[in-house]
């Protein structure tokens, strides 16, 4: 039997990351992602992380294939990969592949998905080895810096706390501003899986533009979220000039009916719309 990771709905940021990731897998690797939906959760095959077209997804110049820039001054994921550390870019594909091996273990619970996913020590060791190799080839060329023996851990330590690298719009600056929302810490700890998934959270928003902002529909079921956001993107791509109130008032009645028919949902509960407003980068939440 195929080994899978179970993914449960959580907060809107995580959900948008998961939906965005599946969207990208459908578009780029052309997989039938709808077969991963089981009731309200996702049963994600572990080997999905081993076969992603990393270069095309994150480093190509073509707008069509590139999911988002994650290097240097990226608009959304600022310095996710620091350009002064080329080994991080080379190793990124190895990091993503290793996600197929993450285990739920230990006492470190992720501030985003609330699970205790982490890499096994031997996998961290292997990743450090890769980073040292990439560092070595670079060191040879420049004849100065020594390859780090814990290179992967250095890379990961910059991403392990929620910060501007994961969302330049709403995250905290590194090491500053303790915040009640984060239990008076300066940030949240995040697991390796969320470190990766979260760089896809903008995709459903960008697929659904209204006159007032970009929207994501959040719900307690991934299957419902998938279909609602797909439908929203479909109607919004037909007419770019929709006002938000039109979407809320008219089209979403239609949408609600369509979802009940296609999914057989008894009622639409706890569904909210997250709006990334164009007006001063505000985030709004509306129950629908
Ligand atoms: Zn997590």
CA of 239 to the centre of ligand 1 (A): 36
Instruction: Output the pLDDT for position 180.
Output: 46
Instruction: Output the pLDDT for position 95.
Output: 97
Per-residue pLDDT of the chain (288 residues; tens, 9 = 90+): 579 999 999 999 899 999 999 999 999 999 999 999 998 899 999 999 999 999 999 988 877 777 888 887 777 787 888 888 889 999 999 999 999 999 999 988 998 899 999 999 999 999 999 999 998 876 666 666 677 889 999 999 888 876 666 665 655 554 444 444 444 455 678 999 999 999 999 999 998 888 778 889 898 889 989 988 988 888 788 776 666 666 666 566 666 666 666 565 545 567 788 888 876 567 777 776
- Cβ distance 164 to 173 under 8 Å? yes
Structure tokens, 50: 């081993």
3-state class (DSSP) for residue 26: helix
The C-alpha angle 57, 103, 34, rounded to 5 degrees, equals 50
CA of 98 to the centre of ligand 1 (A): 15
CA of 233 to the centre of ligand 1 (A): 27
Ligand 1 is a single-atom ion; what residues have CB below 5 A from it? 110, 112-113, 191, 194
Q: Tokens 């969207």 map to which residue?
A: 23
CA of 169 to the centre of ligand 1 (A): 20
Instruction: Output the pLDDT for position 77.
Output: 82
Instruction: Output the pLDDT for position 253.
Output: 62
Give the residue extent of every domain in the chain: 4-202, 207-287
Q: How far is CA 83 from CA 46, 80, 242, in A?
A: 29, 9, 39
77 CB-near residues (< 8 Å, 6+ apart): 68, 69, 70, 165, 166, 167, 168, 199
- Cβ distance 248 to 288 under 8 Å? yes
CA of 262 to the centre of ligand 1 (A): 31
CA of 184 to the centre of ligand 1 (A): 20
Instruction: Quote the CA–CA distance of 26 and 34 in Å, as a whole number.
Output: 9
CA of 19 to the centre of ligand 1 (A): 15
């Amino acid at each position: 039997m195929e080994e899978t990771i179970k993914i449960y709905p959580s907060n809107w940021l995580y959900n948008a990351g998961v939906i965005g990731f599946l969207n990208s897998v459908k578009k780029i690797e052309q997989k039938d992602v709808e077969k991963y939906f089981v009731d309200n959760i996702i049963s994600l095959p572990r080997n999905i992380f081993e076969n992603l077209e990393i270069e095309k997804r994150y480093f190509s110049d073509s707008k069509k294939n590139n999911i988002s820039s994650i290097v240097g001054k990226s608009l959304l994921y600022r310095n996710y990969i620091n350009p002064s550390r080329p080994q991080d870019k080379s190793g990124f594909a190895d990091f993503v592949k290793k996600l197929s091996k993450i285990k739920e273990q230990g006492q470190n619970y992720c501030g985003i998905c609330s699970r205790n996913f982490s890499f096994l020590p031997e996998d961290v060791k292997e990743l450090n080895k890769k980073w040292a190799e990439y560092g070595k080839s670079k060191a040879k060329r420049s004849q100065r810096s020594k390859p780090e023996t814990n290179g992967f851990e250095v890379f990961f330590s910059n991403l392990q706390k929620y910060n501007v690298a994961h969302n330049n719009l709403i995250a905290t600056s590194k090491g500053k501003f303790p915040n009640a929302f984060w239990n008076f810490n300066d940030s949240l700890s995040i697991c390796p899986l969320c470190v990766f998934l979260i760089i896809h959270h903008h995709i459903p928003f960008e697929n659904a533009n209204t006159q007032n902002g970009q929207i994501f529909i959040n719900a307690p079921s991934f299957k419902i979220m998938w279909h609602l956001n797909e439908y929203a993107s479909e109607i919004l791509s037909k007419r770019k000039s929709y006002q938000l109130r039109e979407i809320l008032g008219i089209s979403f009645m239609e949408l609600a009916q369509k979802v009940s028919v296609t999914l057989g949902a008894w009622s639409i509960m706890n569904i909210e719309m997250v709006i990334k407003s164009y007006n001063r980068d505000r985030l709004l939440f509306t129950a629908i």
